[in-house]
Structure 1
Amino acid sequence: MPELIAWILVFAVAAYACAGGTDYGAGFWDLVAGGAERGDRPRRLIDHAMGPVWEANNVWLIFVLVVMWTGFPTVFQAVFGALWLPLALAAVGLVLRGAGFALRKPARRLARRRFYGAVFAVSSLVTPFFLGAALGGIASGRVAVGTTATADAWANPTSVLAGLLAVAAAAFLGAVFLCSDARRFGAQDLVDYFRRRALGALGAIVVLALIGLPVTHGDARHVWHGLTGGPGLLLVLLAAASALVTAVLLLRRTYRWCRYTAVASVALTVLAWGAAQSPYLLPTSLTVAGAAGAPDTLRWLTIVTVVAIVLIGPALVLLYWMDTHGELEPLTDADTGTGRAPGDPR
């Protein structure tokens, strides 16, 4: 039973990395889109793409916290005790990000729209970085029961690398989805705009992954061994194959399946991390069995998970399907300015 709950937790983290990561990636491209004139059309597309789903994606984060809190209370206490600062910064970024996104559209004054837009965009960079840094601190074995909060727990080579990988993966997912959205709305110039950025983000992931080999070998030995052998290695190879297929599809301008392969590459990477840590939740000090809560609690948590899958799962699938097929919020020619490249004069 503890192993089942642990894998439910890992799958929930993977779901949030893909769903929430796509939104963070859209915010990243909002940040680097340029000035008000140059970045107007990409930002309009980002607003329309995120509008129907950005709040729903946070359901996965809530589920992660609930599973950790009830299923593995010792881990929850250790993680939030040792990593309270990066997690607090991520939480502040999450709140500011939502506020900035919600307030910038109805704001009438240009100065206020710019301010709220900047809050949204910067928070979209800060939040995934600190969430990744927290995971890096766990993977490096710096978090254990009784560990006090220190900068070394999250400001270490593995944490910095994990934070940068989280940002790059989010940017990759965001660009791939925005590329497909632009194609669906007939804005071919925006398709090429985000296609180039998706390939650039994928290149950054490859570079960071290569840098990560010596970093994790020296700083997170248990996870490094797990990623270079057994199920972890298999999942890493599958993730790399999915990323390669995504790159080929983007280069050939075949966009029908690229969203699925991009999501698969990120999800498989998270699952590889989960497999690499096995049998530990806190390498190498606390195993899954040692961290598990009471058997009755785990049993009820499993039942609640099944109920959530049955009741909420279909609704989320329908929401994502309707959003990616343009059934929720249509985009007009005035929004995309079809035929006018980003940065061109009106």
Structure 2
Amino acid sequence: MAEVIAWVLVLAIAAYACAGGTDYGAGFWDLLAGDAERGKRARWLIDHAMAPVWEANNVWLIFVFIIMWTGFPTMFQAVFEAMWLPLALAAVGLVLRGAGFALRKPTRRLAQRRVYGAAFAISSLLTPFFLGAVLGGIAAGRVAVGTTASADAWANPTSVLTGLLAIASTAFLGAVFLCSDARRFDADDLVDYFRLRALSAFAAVVVLALIALPVTHDDARHVWEGLTGGPGLLLIVLAAFCGLATVLLLVRRSYGWTRYTSVASVALTVGAWGFAQRPYMLPTSLTVAEAAGATHTMRWLAIVTVIAIVLVGPALVLLYRLDTLGELEPLTDADTRAAGTPGDNL
């Protein structure tokens, strides 16, 4: 039962990396869109693309935490004791990001929109970095039961590279999704705009991954061995194939499958990390069996998880489907031309 719940946790992390990561990537490109005039059209597209789903995507993060503290309380305590600072910074980023995104659109004054937009964009950069740094510290074996909080737990080479890979991966996902959204809204100039950014982000992912190879070999040996053999290696190869397929589709300007191939590349990478850590929750000090809660707790957690999937899963699928089809909040002609609003120059 503990093994099954552990894999549910990995799947939830993969879902958040893909769903929430797409939103973080949109925020990253919002940060780099330029000044108010030059970045107006790109930000209009980002706002309309994110608006229907950005809150729903955080359901996966809540699901991850619930599984951790209910099913694996020993791991939860160890991680939050050793990593409280990056996790607190990620939480602050989540709050500021949500507030910035929610408040900047209805705000009329340009100066206030800039403040809210900056909070949204910068938090979209910091939050995935700190979450990635936490995962990197765990993979590197920097966290064990009783480990006290220190910078070494999350500021080590593996953590930093994992954080940077998280940023690059979310930027890749965000650009691919925005490219498809721009095409759906007939904003042809934005299609090429985000297409080039998707290709650039994938190049950054490849460079960071190559840099991470020798670092992981020396700093996270157990995970390295899991990623270079068995199911972990197979999933990494499949992830690379899906990433290259996405690039090929973008180069050929064939956007029908790019969402699926880009999501698959990230999800398969998370799955490979799950296989690489086996049989540990905290390499190499705490196994899945040792971290698991009481038997009856795990049994009830499994039942509740199945019920949640049955009740919430179809609703999320329908939400994503309607959003993909543009049924929730279609852009108007004024929106695609980035029309001004009263008070823009105040």
Q: TM-score of the superposition, structure 2-length normalised?
A: 0.97
Aligned to 2:108: 108
Rounded Cα–Cα distance in structure 1 between residues aligned with 2:38 and 2:223:
43
Task: Give aligned pairs, total.
Answer: 338
Aligned to 1:306: 306
Aligned to 1:330: 330
The residue identity in structure 1 corresponding to 2:243 is A
Residues 300-337 of structure 1: CA deviation (Å, up to 9, x unaligned): 11111110111000000000000111000010122122
Q: In angstroms, what is the RMSD of aligned CA positions?
A: 0.6
Residues 186-213 of structure 1: CA deviation (Å, up to 9, x unaligned): 0111000000000000000000010010
Aligned to 1:39: 39
Q: TM-score of the superposition, structure 1-length normalised?
A: 0.97
The residue identity in structure 2 corresponding to 1:102 is A
Task: Give the drift of 1:173.
Answer: 0.3
Residues 157-191 of structure 1: CA deviation (Å, up to 9, x unaligned): 00000000000000000000000000000011100
Aligned to 2:153: 153
Residues 269-288 of structure 1: CA deviation (Å, up to 9, x unaligned): 00100110000000000000
Structure 1 gap ranges (5+): 339-346
Aligned to 1:241: 241
Rounded Cα–Cα distance in structure 2 between residues aligned with 1:108 and 1:29:
22
Aligned to 1:214: 214
The residue identity in structure 2 corresponding to 1:76 is F
Q: SS of the counterpart of 1:192?
A: helix
Query: Is 1:170 aligned to 2:170, yes or no?
Result: yes
Task: Give the drift of 1:147.
Answer: 0.0
The within-5 A match list for 1:124-203 is: 124-203=124-203
The residue identity in structure 1 corresponding to 2:40 is D
Q: SS of the counterpart of 2:168?
A: helix
Rounded Cα–Cα distance in structure 2 between residues aligned with 1:223 and 1:189:
43
Rounded Cα–Cα distance in structure 1 between residues aligned with 2:248 and 2:233:
22
Task: Give the drift of 1:106.
Answer: 1.1
The residue identity in structure 2 corresponding to 1:32 is L
Rounded Cα–Cα distance in structure 1 between residues aligned with 2:220 and 2:246:
29
Task: Give the drift of 1:231.
Answer: 0.6
Residues 7-28 of structure 1: CA deviation (Å, up to 9, x unaligned): 0000000000000000000000
Rounded Cα–Cα distance in structure 1 between residues aligned with 2:133 and 2:178:
26
Residues 58-92 of structure 1: CA deviation (Å, up to 9, x unaligned): 00000000000000000000000000000000000
Q: SS of the counterpart of 2:55?
A: coil
The residue identity in structure 2 corresponding to 1:181 is D
Aligned to 2:63: 63
Query: Is 1:279 aligned to 2:284, yes or no?
Result: no
Rounded Cα–Cα distance in structure 2 between residues aligned with 1:327 and 1:74:
44
Report the identity percentage. 80
The within-5 A match list for 1:71-86 is: 71-86=71-86
Q: SS of the counterpart of 2:281?
A: strand
Aligned to 1:292: 292
Rounded Cα–Cα distance in structure 2 between residues aligned with 1:242 and 1:108:
42
The residue identity in structure 2 corresponding to 1:323 is D
